[in-house]
Structure 1
Amino acid sequence: MEHTDLIDKRLTDLEIKAGFTEDLLDHLNQLVVRQQQQIDLLINEVIQLRQQASDASAGGFRSLRDELPPHY
């Protein structure tokens, strides 16, 4: 009888571990999806900033006064 009780306990422990592992995997998958969305947004922002920089440099001469920080 003790042998089957030990097997049942080990099986129960394995099932609990498997459940926690599934939860962890789901959490990590959600985290990866969120990070990929953030990466995509950042890539789009970099593309826009590069476009703005190339548009500004193509605009011709700019006064140094235009370069003053806003608090002046």
Structure 2
Amino acid sequence: MQHLEEQIAHLTRTVDELSAVVAAQQDEIDHLTRRVQMLMQREAERQQEGTGGVVFGDERPPHY
């Protein structure tokens, strides 16, 4: 009987740890999903404005 109680306690702790990991992963997924949506919206706005190109800080503009 004691062996079963120890095993249940171990399994309960493992389930709690896994639950915490899954919750942290879901938070990260939610955060990344929001960032991707924001980037997609920003890119859609650039395409509507006709400025969809990537601008590099050290790159000369095309008219030089």
Question: In the alignment, is residue 45 of structure 1 matched against residue 31 of structure 2?
Answer: no
- C-alpha RMSD over aligned residues: 2.0
Query: Higher helix share goes to which structure?
Result: 1
- Distance in 2 (CA, whole Å) between partners of 1:29 and 1:44 is 23
Alignment partner of 1:16 is 2:6: yes
Q: Give every structure 1 segment of 4 or more consecutive aligned residues whose post-TM-superposition deviation is greater than 2 Å.
A: 69-72
SS at match of 1:56: helix
Identity %: 24
Larger Rg: 1
Q: Write the distance in 2 (CA, Å) between the matches of 1:61 and 1:51.
A: 14
Higher RCO structure (Cα 8 Å, ≥6 apart): 2
Q: Deviations over 1:40-62 (max 9, x none)?
A: 01110110010110111111256
